[in-house]
Chain A
């Protein structure tokens, strides 16, 4: 299956700061999603973004499919942004392979 590498593994931010999370894929993907896992374990789908750029409020994501990477931007971070962010991708079988996650801690 596809190998997914996420960086950084941990990120500590001061409230109001901006940050960038990165995801590299070992092969081409036609399904790429970013998730936020809340403290109770629920995976919240942030973006479905196999290519291009999308924005949703303070979050935005960009995928450069030809170079097999995706970026998640968090602007003006808030304490509620804390949690684990996962990216996941699949090729033609919809079986998502997950990265190891980035644990984000936003301090007030």
Chain B
């Protein structure tokens, strides 16, 4: 089945530094990937839609200069948290759409990246 890989699975950084998270579709091409954020005991909130070869589209309230998204190839999207602060500590999850032969548009999720900003 479709597999989405995220790296790193967890990262601890100092306040003010930038952190890059990678999301790869391993066995399929994904023109569109999605980035979600999940705070403890809460649901997943969509942050942005990553489009291969073009600018990402951000959900309302998400700072595009804070969360830089690059989707340079059909199998890789990156999320960079710039000048991270403790309030950016969260679980970041990416997903990609794979189209099996049935035509169903199932979204497959990566294992997530847990960011802790000290």
Residues of chain A having any CB pair with chain B under 8 Å: 1, 31, 33, 35, 40-43, 45, 48, 86, 88, 94-101
Contact = CB atoms under 8 A, between A and B. Distances in A.
Interface in B84-103: 91, 93, 95, 97
Contacts of A97: 46
A33 B43 contact: no
Contacts of B38: 41
Nearest to A6: B43
A31 B38 CA distance: 21
Interface string B16-53: 00000000000000001010101000111110010000
B71 interface: no
Interface residues of B, number: 23
B99 to A, nearest CB: 11
B24 to A, nearest CB: 16
B42 to A, nearest CB: 8
Contacts of B44: 43, 86, 88, 98
Nearest to B38: A41
Contacts of B114: 41
A98 B44 CA distance: 6
Contacts of A33: 106-107
B67 interface: no
A40 B34 contact: no
Contacts of B112: 40-43
A100 B93 contact: no
A86 B91 CA distance: 16
A42 B107 contact: no
B93 A41 contact: yes
